[in-house]
Amino acid sequence: MAWFLNHYKCARCHGSWTDEWSCMCDDDCPHCGARHMSPDSSDELTELIEEEGNAFVVRWSPESAEHTPDYQELGRFQTYEEATSFLMASRHLDSSLSMPAVRGGRSTIGRPSPRGGLKRKGR
Ligand SMILES: [Zn+2]
């Protein structure tokens, strides 16, 4: 199961938001409540690199994941560069994969907990 970070833009109030889900699915606008907005764009989060303490952890979401990414750890690296080259090397096997999103200190500020930042859907 791939995991996506969907970017939405409301056609009614032009508000924007993001949401994580296992597909590029429609969402309701959190600003005005407009229903069934389609994602504007989508980042694949099937693989990601998370900064944990002084290590960079490479994770991927296995096929069995359905309602949560259920990330499995693939490896830990001292530097971000090592982590990306590990992922790039595995990409040679599947060139359709895109660059991973980077979580942690580099791109996300104020994330509540190492794994607790995902919003859950009540559906
Ligand atoms: Zn709206």
pLDDT more than 70, % of the chain: 72
**Mean pLDDT score, 13-23:** 90
Cα separation, 79 vs 89, in Å, equals 16
Exposure of 111 in the CB half-sphere (CA atoms within 13 A): 17
For residue 89, how far is its CA from the centre of ligand 1 (angstroms)? 41
Instruction: Name the pLDDT band for 113 (thresholds 50, 70, 90).
Output: very low
pLDDT for 65-105, tens place per residue?
777 888 899 999 999 999 999 988 876 655 555 555 555 44
Q: Which helix (H) or strand (E) holds 82?
A: helix 80-91
State the DSSP code for 27: B
pLDDT at 52: 93
For residue 118, how far is its CA from the centre of ligand 1 (angstroms)? 22
Residue 82 has phi, psi (to 5 degrees) of -65, -40
- How does 39-67 read in b/e, with b if 16+ C-beta sit within 10 Å? beebbbbbbbbbbeeeebbbbbbeeebee
Instruction: Name the pLDDT band for 27 (thresholds 50, 70, 90).
Output: very high
Contact assessment for residue 29 and residue 50, using Cβ atoms and an 8 Å cutoff = no
For residue 74, how far is its CA from the centre of ligand 1 (angstroms)? 39
pLDDT at 93: 56
pLDDT at 4: 86
For residue 40, how far is its CA from the centre of ligand 1 (angstroms)? 13
Residue-averaged pLDDT of the chain: 79
Q: Which two tokens stand for residue 114?
A: 């190492």
pTM value? 0.56
For residue 17, how far is its CA from the centre of ligand 1 (angstroms)? 10
pLDDT at 11: 95
Which residues does residue 6 pair with via DSSP β-bridges, in sequence order?
19, 42
